[in-house]
A and B are shown apart, each in its own frame.
Chain A
Amino acid sequence: MADSTEKNRRKQKRTKSKAAESTFLSKKGKPEKKGRMKMKGKGKGRDNDQRKRRGGGPRLPNVLRQELGLDTKRNSSSDSDSEGGEDVRDFYELHEEVAQEESGKNRRFDEVENYEYELPEDFEDEEVPSDEGEDDEISSGKSDYEGDEEGGERHLRMLQDITGIPKEAFDGEKNKREEVLVSQADVGSESVTIHDLLAPLQGMPGYSSLRKRVLQQEKQPMTLQAPLRKSERDKVQRKVSDKFARKEITKWEGVVKRNREAPTLFFEQDQNLGYSTVGAIASGFEPRTEFEKQMAQLRQDPELVEAYKNDGARMLELNKVSVKDVMDRQNRLAKMRSLLFRHEMKAKRIKKIKSKTYHKIKKKARQKAASAELEMNPEAAKLQAIKQEQKRAEERLTLKHKNSSKWAKRILKRGLDVQDDATRAAIAEQLQKHEELKRKMNSMNDNDSTTDEESSDDDDEDEDESKRALKALNKAKEKTAKVLEEGDEAPKKGLFALPFMERGLKKRQEEAYEEARQALEDYDATLNQLQDEGEEGEEEMQQNSSAVKVTGKRTFGPAKKTVAQEYNKRQRLDDFEKNSDSEEDDGEFDEPVPQIVEDKNDKTEGVQLGTSLLDEEQVMAQHSIFRNLGDMEKAVGPKTTYEVAIFAGDSFRKVRSDSGHSNKATTSSVKHTSKPSQETKETDQSYDTDSDTEMVEGFLTTNLSADQKPDYELPSQAELVRRVFAGDDVAAEFEREKLEILNEENPEAEKPALVPGWGQWTHVQKKKGLPDWMVREHEEKKRKRKEALKKRKDAKFDHVIISETINKKAEKLMATSLPFPFTSKEAYEGNMRMPIGPDFNPVSALSALNRPEIIKKPGLIIQPIEYEEVDPHETPDQPKRIIQGAKPKQSSKEKSKKGKSANKLVPKTLGKKVKST
């Protein structure tokens, strides 16, 4: 018994140690498979062990064994085993084999002598020694060194025999091994020691409880952590690395954010284009060819350099100039300059000299111009005369051309006959010149008597007195008219063009005008008288006088005449256009004699300062009809009365205007009141044509009085009526119109009507009236219309109609939906409110308003982003952000050095350099 228990214990120990080993292995993190393989191997060994055990001892039925208590320990150990290695299946299998098949608790199955999978009992493994001792030995030797002390002894002896060295020498080794084992045990499993400790306590009071506790403790899972799967391990690894990477990347956040939020990024680093100056290029020169190398050698030859230096110094000495030299040089220069100047002057003079023919031609031209001037300009003629007079006086005084010169005297002395022809001719010429000079000029004021003559040549002798008088009067009139006409011209330049002078002149002219006009009027009066007297005169005479007569047909102002004549000319050129107006004009302008139709006194009376603007009642009473610009042409003064011709219907009608007419006009207009205002639209056309003729009249007859109004407005009567009485019920009309428009846009709901017979079966239904749905629909429609009307912009105003029609053409100028980044209309419109064009902003603000997101010079290479520390809480204050600041050119070493130092001075954290604009 004791033996068996001991065996069991040993086994237990073994398994424990194995378990410990396995855990140790797993802890070490060796690959799982390997561990498993080993286990399996061990398991096999165990199997073998078992088999051997079976084979070794008499095989007892399990029950018996249990009774014997033999199996309990083993079971417990196996239990512990299974507990110890839960993950390892092999142990379970082992246990189950024993537990179920072999125990055969209910004995349901027949007992089988030998299972197929069991080896026969007599099976002997050749290699394994069958005797127990050996078995023990081996098993113990495999696992424990403690067990085979005898073997160790033998071994020692053997060693002693072989080596001849005393046993003690090897004993140390054994001790060592023991030590190692102890230490191994210490390290490997504490439980073993506990059990060892417990063993001596067996049988002592309290042992069982202690043992229980120990067992319990042992039952605690001694988990063997399976190594993580690769994917998970990778995941963990990634997580960690991600953490680091994140940390690394987040530091860029600030920079990137700032760049992203900056409205504009500037990339303005200057491109380093390499060498830019000749010097820079030359300094970088390296000799390559043989020749170049030689040259370089020569140049850098110390001797040569030295010599050059010395020479240079000498040359500097030579640079010194004496005062005298300078003076000399200056003098020489001055001389040269003066020579040059003189030459230039000479050239100028020579250039000025013109040829003889040139002068001849020029002189001729001058004379011609002068003569023309004389003809055209009386003043010039006068000047010329004065000059001539001077010359004459001079000639008379000096007698320069009267053979008084030396040359002439000498020739005369010799005698003219002796001289040749040319000399004689010269003398004669001189005398001629003298004569010419001495001759008295014709005075400027020679009379145009010739013009006087022509007028009266075609006069009939047998004309009677009255006729002659008439003619004389006519002539006088004509002349006054002419004078008046001429007087019109005012100087446009010089002193007389000044405004006040002009005004003064005008005043005087006006006075003269008035006088002339009065005179003219007198003539007219007398002419009229004459005409009345000789009314029964011939046809011819009447024709003549018609121009003079105040027929009322045509009236011209003096200023008109030129225009008229001009017009006539054009008419002729135009081959008499068949325009009625022009014809009419033509006819009128053919009349040669103008007539003045303005009464000065009347006019001055009219030109009194008005009392006030606000006394309209009076004005209105005067005119009875509102005036506008169109009417004004007729109204110069209230009291003036003139005769005019107007075109009414087909014929000319002479109208003598008086106050009675205006009354007539009012009455006539009152008569028309009954006509509705709409009628006027129809009559518009006729009014148009009428107004045209009126217009023609307006052009022809200059000064019309206010009192002609009725005649003038005759054609546009309807229009006037409409104007006057349009205001009668405008409010009602407007209301009606508005309603119409409203109805057009939101038609009124139709009243539901029943078609007789439809929807009715009997007369009973009739009494009920309309069906419910119809009424409901109608109500709905009405309600909708009301709402629509309420929504209109002009719903609140009675006097306003605002069109609600959509303008499709204008819609394309608006956005259909909010543009992308905006989410609210308010924000969008707020952003759009400010004009950003050059017309609305000062230049200095303009660039900021229209700056693009990125500014870079063409060809600039954008460098990768650089790290810089950024305060995350700072607001993007500067609208500009410079990414690549301008760096100084690296053209020369010094410069670059400076640049570097400057760069160093600027802390990186500041980063932004704001270009000041």
Chain B
Amino acid sequence: MGEKEESNEPQALNPASNQEEGILDKLEKKAKKYLRGNKTNLKNLRDKKLKGQLEVREKIYGNAAKVAARAEEWLKPSEEGLLEPENPLERTYRIQQSSILPEVDVLSVSKAFDMKLPDLGPYTIRYLSNGRYMLLGGQKGHLAMLDVLKMDCVKEFQVRERVRDVVFLQNDQLFAVAQKKFTYIYNRHGTEIHCLKENRHPLKLEYLEKHFLLVGTNNFSQLHYQDISTGQVVANYRTGLGPTSVMCSNRYNSIISLGHSGGKLTMWKPTSGKPLITMLCHQGPITAVAYHPSGNLVATAGMDKKVKIWDLRKFEAIHSIPGHAQTLDFSQKGLLALANGSRVQVWRDKGSQDFGLYMTHGIPKGYQIGTVKFRPYEDVLGLGHSMGFSSILIPGSGEPNFDSWVANPYETNKQRSKKEVRALLDKLPPESIMLDPGSIGMVRERQRKEKLTKKEIEQQMVEAVVEAKGNVEIKNKTKGRNKPSKRAKRKQEEVFNAKKPFLEKQRETKEGPQQKKRRVLLEVAEDLPKSLQRFVKKKTM
């Protein structure tokens, strides 16, 4: 076992320039990341003015990317450390927690601890997005909020009701608890702030930070979206696939995934009553789902004794791990933790989506792990189990550099409140949840069923007429009957017939319902005997 070390390559003759080049190369590589895609190909553009403008724009983008890359050097000083075998025969998953603990610093040692809470049943856990606070929800009504940075219990109380799930809302000030009948919102002092009666018998909760949406599934197999800033119920859909407590949100696009008993994984957004994507992932019921932070990978565990990692771009299982898992979680750096019974495994992407076993851990055998959650910005994995809670060290799991604009573990009260206001101002509407959020602001593709423009209709009409003209079949008739005038008339008729539907449609669109009624009446009147016509006219006038 050894810390990660970069091997020094043999120096060239001109080390200084080489180094410089290396640095430049690195910078360029980093800058490429910040360019967010390739430069647009402007060669095909004819408009010179536009071309010039875009070129300038591209240049500005390039500069911005370079500046960002340079800033990264200072703003992201640390890299995540991973366990790396010293020789090829060594396996990282053989390394026990007990052998890690003496090696690491004092602060990290204190992060590995166990809490025995034998009485109030299996615990679910949840970390705040900045990794500072943790919620413990005992199934038998025990709720506790811990400051895991200071190792301090913020609040601990009993709700005397079954607790199914807990989730932090926008910050440590509020958290939601799925209780026996309703979802409750408490503040950090344990005061009940709200009781959300709209979602009865909640099973699982999920919070979408940027949209201020609290998502829950319930026993009536419904998916419930509620805006916690306004209190509005944004959506409530019947999944029609049975009640489920397997839910996970995709951090990239805020899509909610549900795992069902039929082995199906469905993906939902609040503005559509039907799942966007339905995937058959397993032969048995799905027990757990977790999204990779990039949003492209999703891991599912099924009762068919498989854990699969799917690439959502290809809809293909890129890796299948044999074994059961009750719970899954991806870390910020893409480590996958899965737990079954009292054993935990951590898998790691070894590059190019090749997952390999990275670490294992076992807690006393009788204990049943209910939840695994990686602590954000720390190399810590939290395990909520039947006998309480324990946290273990998983090197390289957390993002080593935090962005204080995104999530600051050390934020002050003022920063917190400011951030809250900012978040409220930047709140995204529920419509913006979609599979590809990058398409926002882009040109949307014309749908087939969309209304045609006038020009297009005209074009169609002309085409139809041309076709009709070509298709006129005129039989050769007997002598005398084969008159050219008749042929011409026939042709005309054909053309008129081709035009007719278009013209009618046009007229319909032009005239309102009343006008149409009048027209129809007049038409009827024409058919009537003259003596009766006046009555019709009177009516219409």
Q: Are A633 and B139 in contact, with the CB atoms below 8 A?
A: yes
Distance of B467 from chain A, by nearest CB (Å): 15
Q: Are B37 and A830 in contact, with the CB atoms below 8 A?
A: yes
* Complex interface: chain B residues within 8 A of A876 (CB): 52, 56
Distance of A615 from chain B, by nearest CB (Å): 9
Known contacts A616-B305, A727-B285, A831-B40: A609-B362 contact under CB 8 Å? yes
Q: Are A811 and B161 in contact, with the CB atoms below 8 A?
A: no
CA distance A876 to B51 in the complex (A): 12
CA distance A738 to B274 in the complex (A): 13
Q: Which residue of B lies closest to A841 (CB)?
A: B64
CA distance A614 to B338 in the complex (A): 12
Known contacts A722-B261, A730-B263, A801-B277: A827-B140 contact under CB 8 Å? no
- List which A616-662 residues lie within 8 A (CB) of chain B: 616, 619-620, 626-630, 632-633, 635-638, 640
Q: Which residue of A lies closest to B240 (CB)?
A: A681
* Complex interface: chain B residues within 8 A of A834 (CB): 35-36, 61, 64
User: B443: CB under 8 A from chain A?
Assistant: yes
* Complex interface: chain B residues within 8 A of A849 (CB): 60-61, 64
Known contacts A695-B180, A730-B263, A845-B63: A821-B53 contact under CB 8 Å? yes
* Complex interface: chain A residues within 8 A of B362 (CB): 609-610, 613
Q: Are A730 and B431 in contact, with the CB atoms below 8 A?
A: no
Distance of B310 from chain A, by nearest CB (Å): 10
Of the candidates A699, A810, A841, the one whose C-beta lies within 8 Å of that of B141 is A699
CA distance A687 to B243 in the complex (A): 11
- List which A78-133 residues lie within 8 A (CB) of chain B: none
Distance of B466 from chain A, by nearest CB (Å): 20
CA distance A727 to B281 in the complex (A): 11
Known contacts A563-B158, A681-B242, A826-B40: A811-B444 contact under CB 8 Å? yes
User: B236: CB under 8 A from chain A?
Assistant: no
Of the candidates A499, A603, A613, the one whose C-beta lies within 8 Å of that of B360 is A613
User: B391: CB under 8 A from chain A?
Assistant: no
Q: Are A698 and B139 in contact, with the CB atoms below 8 A?
A: yes
Q: Are A807 and B272 in contact, with the CB atoms below 8 A?
A: yes
User: B296: CB under 8 A from chain A?
Assistant: no
Distance of B125 from chain A, by nearest CB (Å): 12
User: A519: CB under 8 A from chain B?
Assistant: no
Q: Are B279 and A699 in contact, with the CB atoms below 8 A?
A: no
Distance of A433 from chain B, by nearest CB (Å): 49
CA distance A815 to B442 in the complex (A): 6
Q: Are A727 and B304 in contact, with the CB atoms below 8 A?
A: yes
What does the 1/0 interface line of A810-839 toward B look like (CB < 8 Å)? 111111111001111111111111110001
CA distance A724 to B304 in the complex (A): 10
Q: Are B45 and A800 in contact, with the CB atoms below 8 A?
A: no
* Complex interface: chain A residues within 8 A of B367 (CB): 607, 636
Number of interface residues of B (CB under 8 A): 112
* Complex interface: chain A residues within 8 A of B441 (CB): 813-815, 832
User: B345: CB under 8 A from chain A?
Assistant: yes
Q: Are B442 and A632 in contact, with the CB atoms below 8 A?
A: no
- List which B107-142 residues lie within 8 A (CB) of chain A: 110, 113, 116, 118-122, 124, 139-141
The interface-forming segment of B191-199, B432-440, B530-538 is B432-440
Q: Are B110 and A499 in contact, with the CB atoms below 8 A?
A: yes
* Complex interface: chain A residues within 8 A of B57 (CB): 263, 831
What does the 1/0 interface line of A399-416 toward B look like (CB < 8 Å)? 000000000000000000
- List which A781-823 residues lie within 8 A (CB) of chain B: 794, 797, 799-803, 805-807, 809-818, 821-823
Known contacts A810-B431, A827-B40, A845-B68: A608-B364 contact under CB 8 Å? yes
The interface-forming segment of B3-11, B321-329, B484-492 is B321-329
Distance of B240 from chain A, by nearest CB (Å): 8
Q: Are A726 and B343 in contact, with the CB atoms below 8 A?
A: no
Known contacts A626-B303, A633-B139, A731-B283: A506-B116 contact under CB 8 Å? yes
User: A252: CB under 8 A from chain B?
Assistant: no
* Complex interface: chain B residues within 8 A of A799 (CB): 279-281, 315
What does the 1/0 interface line of B154-186 toward A look like (CB < 8 Å)? 000010111000000000000000001000000
Q: Are A727 and B284 in contact, with the CB atoms below 8 A?
A: yes
Q: Which residue of A lies closest to B312 (CB)?
A: A800
User: B371: CB under 8 A from chain A?
Assistant: yes
CA distance A491 to B5 in the complex (A): 44
Q: Which residue of A lies closest to B56 (CB)?
A: A263
Q: Which residue of A lies closest to B204 (CB)?
A: A629
User: B67: CB under 8 A from chain A?
Assistant: yes
* Complex interface: chain A residues within 8 A of B271 (CB): 807, 809-810
Distance of A576 from chain B, by nearest CB (Å): 15
Of the candidates A614, A703, A832, A845, the one whose C-beta lies within 8 Å of that of B118 is A703
Known contacts A730-B280, A827-B42, A848-B63: A609-B364 contact under CB 8 Å? yes
Distance of B275 from chain A, by nearest CB (Å): 7
* Complex interface: chain B residues within 8 A of A829 (CB): 40, 442-443
* Complex interface: chain B residues within 8 A of A802 (CB): 276-277
Q: Are A698 and B162 in contact, with the CB atoms below 8 A?
A: yes
Distance of B369 from chain A, by nearest CB (Å): 8
* Complex interface: chain A residues within 8 A of B17 (CB): none
Q: Are A813 and B67 in contact, with the CB atoms below 8 A?
A: no
Distance of B277 from chain A, by nearest CB (Å): 5
* Complex interface: chain A residues within 8 A of B432 (CB): 810, 813
Q: Are A699 and B341 in contact, with the CB atoms below 8 A?
A: no
* Complex interface: chain B residues within 8 A of A140 (CB): none
Of the candidates B45, B52, B151, B387, the one whose C-beta lies within 8 Å of that of A827 is B45
Q: Are B242 and A816 in contact, with the CB atoms below 8 A?
A: no
Q: Which residue of B lies closest to A506 (CB)?
A: B116
Distance of B171 from chain A, by nearest CB (Å): 18
Known contacts A727-B283, A731-B283: A818-B443 contact under CB 8 Å? yes
CA distance A860 to B219 in the complex (A): 68
- List which B358-380 residues lie within 8 A (CB) of chain A: 360, 362, 364-368, 370-371
* Complex interface: chain A residues within 8 A of B252 (CB): none
Q: Which residue of A lies closest to B277 (CB)?
A: A802
CA distance A823 to B287 in the complex (A): 50
Q: Are B365 and A607 in contact, with the CB atoms below 8 A?
A: yes
CA distance A681 to B242 in the complex (A): 6
* Complex interface: chain B residues within 8 A of A723 (CB): 261, 285, 303
* Complex interface: chain A residues within 8 A of B326 (CB): 627-629
Q: Which residue of B lies closest to A608 (CB)?
A: B365
* Complex interface: chain B residues within 8 A of A612 (CB): 343
Of the candidates A635, A687, A824, the one whose C-beta lies within 8 Å of that of B45 is A824
Q: Which residue of B lies closest to A263 (CB)?
A: B56
- List which B46-71 residues lie within 8 A (CB) of chain A: 46-47, 49-50, 52-54, 56-57, 59-61, 63-64, 67-68, 71
Q: Which residue of B lies closest to A582 (CB)?
A: B160
User: B342: CB under 8 A from chain A?
Assistant: yes
* Complex interface: chain B residues within 8 A of A841 (CB): 64, 67-68
* Of A603, A613, A723, most B-chain CB atoms within 10 Å: A613
CA distance A27 to B204 in the complex (A): 108
Q: Are A699 and B161 in contact, with the CB atoms below 8 A?
A: yes
Distance of B430 from chain A, by nearest CB (Å): 8
Q: Are B219 and A688 in contact, with the CB atoms below 8 A?
A: yes
User: A567: CB under 8 A from chain B?
Assistant: yes
Q: Provide 12 A-B residue pairs closer than 8 Å at the C-beta atoms, listed in order of the A residue.
A: A619-B341, A626-B285, A635-B368, A696-B162, A702-B140, A730-B280, A799-B315, A821-B50, A841-B64, A844-B67, A846-B64, A848-B63
Told that A626-B303, A727-B283, A814-B444 touch, could you supply 8 new A-B pairs with CB distance under 8 A? Answer: A616-B323, A800-B315, A801-B279, A803-B276, A821-B49, A831-B40, A831-B57, A842-B68
Which A residues have a C-beta under 8 Å from some C-beta of B? 261, 263, 499, 506, 557, 559-560, 563, 567, 585, 603, 606-610, 612-614, 616, 619-620, 626-630, 632-633, 635-638, 640, 677, 680-681, 684, 687-688, 691-692, 695-696, 698-699, 702-703, 722-724, 726-727, 730-731, 733-734, 737-738, 794, 797, 799-803, 805-807, 809-818, 821-835, 839, 841-842, 844-846, 848-849, 876, 879
Nearest 10 pairs of A and B residues by beta carbon: A830-B40, A613-B343, A727-B284, A637-B366, A695-B162, A845-B64, A606-B366, A814-B444, A632-B368, A607-B364
